[in-house]
Structure 1
Amino acid sequence: MGHTIYELPLSALASTTINIETKATIGRYRLIDCSKYVQDHVLCIEEYLDISPQPYSAVSYIWKSALTADSRGPTEQPSFSVIGAEDADPIALDVLQQACIVALLEGTEKLWIDRLCIIQTSSEDKAWQIARMYQIYKMCRVCIVLPGGLTRLTSVDEETDWISRAWTLQEAIVPQKTVVLLSWDHGSGQWEGWKGGVKGNVIEILPGSSAIVLLHEMLKACFYPMSVTFTSSNDSSNCDISVCNLGSYGESSVGALLWVLEVVDPDAKAMAIWQSALLRASSRPVDMVFSIMGILGVTLDPRKFHKNDRIGATIALAQEILRLGGKPAWLAMSLDIPPSRFISSFPDFPETNVGGSVSWSSRRGPTNPNVADPIYDINGLEYGPPDFDESISDTRSNVLLPYHWIMNMPSGTMDDDGYLTMKTKATRAIFTGQTFGRRWTNMASNNDGMYTDWDKPNDAIRVVGVDGKVWDILNYDESGTTLQPVPGQAYILFIGTACEFPRDAVYYPDPRPVGGILLPKTSTLRAFTIEEHTPGKFHRVSAFTLDEVLFKPVIEKWKEHTFAIGGPKTLPSEAHRRYESRDLLQYDDI
């Protein structure tokens, strides 16, 4: 049983800043009593040694919203703040009440919200709670998503930043059930689109005020390219509704979260988790690791890492995944984003902030002075190369997020310097010095006409990476002689075969005037080149999507070799990775 550590009538709560530190014990679970809040109009917070026997709901929300109040709701509602979290949006009494009502309707009398259930002024309590965050959401009976935060409910057609926040990934997929709480005045009913392919059940909470929808149904509707038709259960009236509360049609963040929820294969799920996490933001860089460690089967001690040490925490996470027998799915989570300059088996980390912004800066120069590496702006990739034929624009794939996961990817180990040691089929490669326009990721036509004289073993096969760099693949000795490392030499490595993530009918061509997208003919084989920067140490350079018919016979002839892939820059010291200065970002990538 829990004991009360904080209690205050709602009449005295408005415009105050509450503090639970005086009576709370570090390293304890805490829950809000929903019955007392709704029926007795009292905020009551209880503390527990163990909450596993206690049915409770949890809330997923954004700490600080960029949205402003508009005509769809009151501009000011009675609200309060929490000491230690004054930088966050205030908690509206009405929003908390509606969350408590949902919890009660779901058969739970208690509610967990991090803002009120963690001692915000205690780093020790935060570390204890973060280490158990996965279990907190896994044990809750239902997770209630508040896309616009705790200040006000948002409407179904009001786009929010919820899906771009680091912690909401775990909060979305771990609970037994997840619902979205919305501002809604159409009553209960159903929406439908694509001849029944996209459906959603809307359950009214407070008449004329709010409703809930299952998260998965909301995501499907957001990813749907047209409005859905809502039909009321009361009078069978209907209306068209544009659903974009969690994102809009075709957005990588929506697609990635759908894949996390839908795929079954563990390697596919891991790939989708990495992809989804890559597009999210946090004010504390290290939270980008802590927020996914539980769903990847790893527990790290948050006290061992500074809040800015994303690199160190990433290495620790990767080491544990590989130690437990997992695959380095991060190798191919995005083929368009250049490799990190410090742990090059990973893509460059984006710059993130609490406002949900995720962006990549232009490259500041080549990773190796001996290899041409044009500067380009990652944020401009979606617009395609200057010579891109707009007549085939419907066949392009998302440049930041491939629609595939990698099957049969080799595993390996990672050392404390971030070098991934893996064994896979490989052969030598030589950079020609040429750079074409960027290729569209996944398209089978990337290397059409690039190869030469397949039947001559002494001739090279020419290929182009998704970054536009042109390489010659050198045929190995047909006698089977083992490749001997050559100082400074480059190699092309085969990392696996691409498999499609689930796709609904909505993604295929629609005969109606406005319809789905035409998917490109895709290549199934994935490879990348590495270059040696110090003896026995290699860094990733270019990525390739190769047609199976043309290149599978070639790859089958390659021999297996072991490489250590990381760098090429020396890993910054732990002390250096603590800095937040923008000038230092040019050096340490955090």
Structure 2
Amino acid sequence: MSLSQECELDITPYATPQRYRRIDCDRFIQDEMLYIDEFADFPPVQYAAMSYVWKGNPFEPCEVKSHHRFSVAGALDGDPISIHVLSQACLAAVKHEARYIWLDRLCIMQTNREDKNWQIRQMSAMYKRCNPCIVLPGGVQKLVRIDEETAWIHRGWTLQELLMPERALVLLAWKLGAGSVMAGDAFGTVSEVTPNESAVMSAADVLNACVVGYIEFTSPRPPSPLLIRSCVFGAASPNLYATSVAMSEELASDPDARNHAIWQSALMRTSSRPVDMVFSIMGLFGVILDPKMFEKEDRIGATVALAKEILRKGGRASWLGMSFRLPPCSALCTFPVFAETSVSGKALVRTRTGLREVAEFVDGEYPNELGLGTPLPGGAMDDDGYFTFSGRAVHLVPGTSELDHKHEDKNIDLSRRLITSTNGRVWEIVSEEHVRGSTSLGNTHGVILGWFQDYYPGASLAHNKHYIKGMVVEEHAPERFHIVTFFSLHLRDREWVKSWQEHRFSVGGPNPLTHKRYTGGEMFDENAAHRLQEVDNAYGKDERHIAAARARWARSQVEAEDYLLKYT
């Protein structure tokens, strides 16, 4: 098929539903013709899969006329595809021994629901078996530089596209030639695709560069080395940190750390369809849900289905503690409130003062099983979203006085056994004997979740030692509990916490799942949510200041050399 400027392409009249399709790179490069081959079975050929955002970085007005583009029927809400970008992607694939590429915009029948549902179920396999995955951070209509910020890391599907493949490369606009790069302590290479125009780098290297804030580039060309500001995946943020944990070979070897990072990353991402926030990560847990079973707004129903299947297969509740500063979802309290979703932009939550970015309420933490010698809890979840598990716990009653938050041991008074929770309330621990001898005490518990370690690249964590995290649960129906708030304890309380007795809980609700058309948007008081910074994480501010200062220093070092990437 020949492509002309601003044409609209529709493969539906020529394609067969529920077939695997690939774009022939050689024919597109050599003949300037678009050939899409169709296969009844998964094709036994090496191919590259594209990862991109539906609505990417816009052209400058002066650039539009110089780029031929075309649209796809059924996907007109997305950016047109640049023939130049598609050509560069094909060249990159061929240079890495892949004859074909898979681009969902062209390889899925966008006007056929049957084909779409079938293709969604194949998506995780599509990325797992590709070699390589080629990331287009700025979308399909322009190549961006490494110092141009994009929305790629905020999109739901891109997480799976990064983590599933054996190899992921980022295709960038690049005029500095081939060479080597260092991002933090990691070394990598830059390989040209088209000289003086484009190049690819390892996705892990680019991610590290964005976390650190810059890369050090060395090449035969003088002057060398160069410090180059890097923010194509954004500046240092909880989303970057979580994705870094999931990508880290060392940290991701711990299933709890990796899976928690996946849930946390997904919490801070968004998509045009709420249910896609579940479909986009299910393959990372080895679960395939049937999209036909859920309406596009049914995020909460799909979340329950995914959690149930993870636990049924022997997995653990790695979603617990995604955010200790967001309030629990009112109908599925083991999860925080869900963000509002959109076709572009960032994940947002509705507060009393307006929409706020979810990442503002997420800390760079990951669970570490070694801290307490136990992993996150396993168990089972029922159709109503109640998670049944066993965990170390103590009985709590409301405290009678406030603690002095300036005191080093503000989170617990060892003489009175007082705990201050995220929402600023003080709770007093009562003994098992006291509970058994009383008929007036309510049924409230402090339940330990685990040991959560801070992740701050480039900063030494010398002061923040409140690693032990727990949740306050309250009984609202016979043997049914809901999460009220969270708390943290000092690392020196480790042995004491290990002595807590095991209790069995069924935690969910407290509101019933009367309907599952849940798109997010629960309003909450963000001032209460921010109290964790004042109460549980005060010492962490020092580390944040260190990290911020180092990031500012890194930026100041590269600003003078930014012009090298402007191509003026």
What TM-score does the superposition give when structure 2 sets the normalisation length? Answer: 0.85
Task: Tell me, in whole angstroms, the C-alpha distance in 1 between the residues paired with 2:442 and 2:165.
Answer: 49
1:243–1:332 distance in 2 versus 1, CA, 3 Å:
same
SS in structure 1 opposite 2:51? strand
Task: Tell me, in whole angstroms, the C-alpha distance in 2 between the residues paired with 1:188 and 1:160.
Answer: 23
Aligned to 1:271: 260
1:303 aligns with 2:298: no
Once the two structures are superposed, the pairs formed by residues 77-476 of structure 1 within 5 Å of their partners are 77-192=67-182, 197-225=185-213, 227-235=214-222, 237-248=224-235, 250-262=236-248, 263-362=252-351, 379=356, 399-407=361-369, 408-432=375-399, 447-448=409-410, 450-453=412-415, 460-476=416-432
SS in structure 2 opposite 1:560? strand
Kindly indicate whether the alpha-carbon contact (under 8 Å) linking 1:436 and 1:468 is maintained by their aligned counterparts in 2: no
Kindly indicate whether the alpha-carbon contact (under 8 Å) linking 1:469 and 1:542 is maintained by their aligned counterparts in 2: no
Kindly indicate whether the alpha-carbon contact (under 8 Å) linking 2:182 and 2:188 is maintained by their aligned counterparts in 1: yes
Cα RMSD (Å) = 2.8
Kindly indicate whether the alpha-carbon contact (under 8 Å) linking 1:268 and 1:406 is maintained by their aligned counterparts in 2: yes
Question: Residue 294 of structure 2 aligns to which amino acid in structure 1?
Answer: F
Shift of 1:378: 8.8
SS in structure 1 opposite 2:5? coil
Kindly indicate whether the alpha-carbon contact (under 8 Å) linking 1:191 and 1:200 is maintained by their aligned counterparts in 2: yes
Alignment partner of 2:35 out of 28, 44, 52 = 44
SS in structure 1 opposite 2:329? coil
Aligned to 1:507: 459
Question: Residue 541 of structure 1 aligns to which amino acid in structure 2?
Answer: V
Shift of 1:559: 2.2
1:94–1:446 distance in 2 versus 1, CA, 3 Å:
farther
Kindly indicate whether the alpha-carbon contact (under 8 Å) linking 2:134 and 2:171 is maintained by their aligned counterparts in 1: yes
What TM-score does the superposition give when structure 1 sets the normalisation length? Answer: 0.82
Shift of 1:235: 4.9
Task: Tell me, in whole angstroms, the C-alpha distance in 2 between the residues paired with 1:43 and 1:461.
Answer: 70
Aligned to 2:485: 542
Kindly indicate whether the alpha-carbon contact (under 8 Å) linking 2:399 and 2:418 is maintained by their aligned counterparts in 1: no
- Structure 2 residue ranges without an equivalent (≥5): 370-374, 525-568
1:500–1:239 distance in 2 versus 1, CA, 3 Å:
closer
Shift of 1:349: 0.7
1:493 aligns with 2:436: no
Question: Residue 450 of structure 2 aligns to which amino acid in structure 1?
Answer: G
Kindly indicate whether the alpha-carbon contact (under 8 Å) linking 1:487 and 1:535 is maintained by their aligned counterparts in 2: no
Kindly indicate whether the alpha-carbon contact (under 8 Å) linking 1:119 and 1:126 is maintained by their aligned counterparts in 2: yes
Question: Residue 359 of structure 1 aligns to which amino acid in structure 2?
Answer: L
Task: Tell me, in whole angstroms, the C-alpha distance in 2 between the residues paired with 1:241 and 1:345.
Answer: 42
Question: Residue 561 of structure 1 aligns to which amino acid in structure 2?
Answer: H
1:75–1:253 distance in 2 versus 1, CA, 3 Å:
farther
Question: Residue 527 of structure 1 aligns to which amino acid in structure 2?
Answer: G
Aligned to 1:21: 12
Alignment partner of 2:515 out of 559, 569, 573 = 573
Task: Tell me, in whole angstroms, the C-alpha distance in 1 between the residues paired with 2:358 and 2:515.
Answer: 32
Task: Tell me, in whole angstroms, the C-alpha distance in 1 between the residues paired with 2:476 and 2:20.
Answer: 49
Kindly indicate whether the alpha-carbon contact (under 8 Å) linking 1:465 and 1:543 is maintained by their aligned counterparts in 2: yes
Structure 1, residues 116-172: CA drift from partner, whole Å, max 9, x if none? 000111111111011110000011010000001001001111000001100000000
Shift of 1:556: 3.6
1:467–1:73 distance in 2 versus 1, CA, 3 Å:
farther
1:171–1:381 distance in 2 versus 1, CA, 3 Å:
closer
The alignment-based identity, stated in percent, is 38
Kindly indicate whether the alpha-carbon contact (under 8 Å) linking 2:242 and 2:364 is maintained by their aligned counterparts in 1: no
Task: Tell me, in whole angstroms, the C-alpha distance in 2 between the residues paired with 1:48 and 1:333.
Answer: 41
Kindly indicate whether the alpha-carbon contact (under 8 Å) linking 1:154 and 1:183 is maintained by their aligned counterparts in 2: yes
1:420–1:231 distance in 2 versus 1, CA, 3 Å:
same
Kindly indicate whether the alpha-carbon contact (under 8 Å) linking 1:229 and 1:238 is maintained by their aligned counterparts in 2: yes
Aligned to 1:387: none
Kindly indicate whether the alpha-carbon contact (under 8 Å) linking 2:124 and 2:164 is maintained by their aligned counterparts in 1: yes
Question: Residue 448 of structure 2 aligns to which amino acid in structure 1?
Answer: F
Structure 1, residues 184-207: CA drift from partner, whole Å, max 9, x if none? 11111123355xx24341111111
Kindly indicate whether the alpha-carbon contact (under 8 Å) linking 2:131 and 2:166 is maintained by their aligned counterparts in 1: yes
Kindly indicate whether the alpha-carbon contact (under 8 Å) linking 2:465 and 2:491 is maintained by their aligned counterparts in 1: no
Kindly indicate whether the alpha-carbon contact (under 8 Å) linking 1:446 and 1:464 is maintained by their aligned counterparts in 2: no
SS in structure 2 opposite 1:352? coil
Structure 1, residues 64-103: CA drift from partner, whole Å, max 9, x if none? 12x3223895565110011100110000000000000001
- Structure 1 residue ranges without an equivalent (≥5): 1-7, 364-375, 383-397, 454-459, 509-517
Shift of 1:474: 1.2
Q: Which moved more, 1:98-107 or 1:327-336?
A: 327-336
User: How many residue pairs were aligned?
Assistant: 516
Aligned to 2:500: 558
Kindly indicate whether the alpha-carbon contact (under 8 Å) linking 1:27 and 1:128 is maintained by their aligned counterparts in 2: yes
The higher relative CO (CA closer than 8 Å, separation ≥ 6) is in 2
Shift of 1:212: 0.7
Kindly indicate whether the alpha-carbon contact (under 8 Å) linking 1:332 and 1:406 is maintained by their aligned counterparts in 2: no
Kindly indicate whether the alpha-carbon contact (under 8 Å) linking 1:64 and 1:89 is maintained by their aligned counterparts in 2: yes
Alignment partner of 1:53 out of 44, 49, 62 = 44
1:542–1:43 distance in 2 versus 1, CA, 3 Å:
same
Task: Tell me, in whole angstroms, the C-alpha distance in 2 between the residues paired with 1:87 and 1:564.
Answer: 43
